């Protein structure tokens, strides 16, 4: 039996979306590098990181795409929605406007991804960024995505 060229069973793409300055880049670094960054520079365009996790005995590679939140980059970042298994919509609980803009982010996510894409809302607070753990949510989303893939494979 030939060995697989990769050390994971699945690869899933997730996008992090939301207004500028809500903590998307900090969330990315916290998950992929397992380190807390109190202040991240604003993303220009898109940045991404990867991490391999294990869910139900299966290794899953997660590609996490951090999109710029500034309006001037929206046209560029929309192209990165394609093929996403999940979207994390992030807002800052201390800035009401970031919550109010979620409907626009949700519309983009629904229109630019496939109907099976998992979309979750995450609140952040600048002083509490180190306390919110992205690991469990992303692992749950990866588990759901892998179950959908396995179900399709059995059909």
In a domain, 153, yes or no: no
Residue 30 near residue 37, CB atoms below 8 Å: yes
In terms of residue numbers, what domain contains 50? 10-147
pTM over 0.85: no
- Looking up residue 33, the CATH number of its domain turns out to be 3.40.50.300
Q: Is residue 5 part of a domain?
A: no
Q: Is residue 108 part of a domain?
A: yes
Q: Is 155 a domain residue?
A: no
Phi/psi at 7 (5° precision) = -100, 35
List the chain pLDDT tens, one digit each, 155 residues.
445 567 889 999 998 888 888 888 788 777 877 776 666 666 666 678 889 988 889 899 999 888 776 565 556 566 778 889 999 898 888 888 989 999 988 998 899 899 989 998 887 765 554 444 555 656 666 666 665 554 444 43
DSSP for 79-99? GGGTT-SEEEEEEETT-HHHH
As for how many domains the chain has, the answer is: 1
């Amino acid at each position: 039996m030939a060995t697989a060229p990769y050390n994971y069973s699945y690869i899933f793409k997730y996008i992090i979306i939301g207004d500028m300055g809500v903590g998307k880049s900090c969330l990315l670094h916290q998950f992929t590098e397992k380190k807390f960054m109190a202040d991240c520079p604003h993303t220009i365009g898109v940045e991404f990181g990867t991490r391999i996790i294990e869910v139900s005995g299966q290794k899953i590679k997660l590609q996490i795409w951090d999109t710029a939140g500034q309006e001037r980059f929206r046209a560029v970042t929309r192209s990165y929605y394609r093929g996403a298994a999940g979207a994390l919509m992030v807002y800052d609980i201390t800035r009401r406007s970031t919550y109010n803009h979620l409907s626009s982010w949700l519309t983009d996510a629904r229109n630019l991804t496939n109907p099976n894409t998992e979309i979750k809302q995450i609140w952040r607070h600048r002083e509490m960024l180190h306390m919110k753990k992205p690991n469990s949510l992303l692992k749950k989303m990866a588990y759901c995505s892998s179950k959908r893939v396995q179900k399709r494979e059995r059909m």
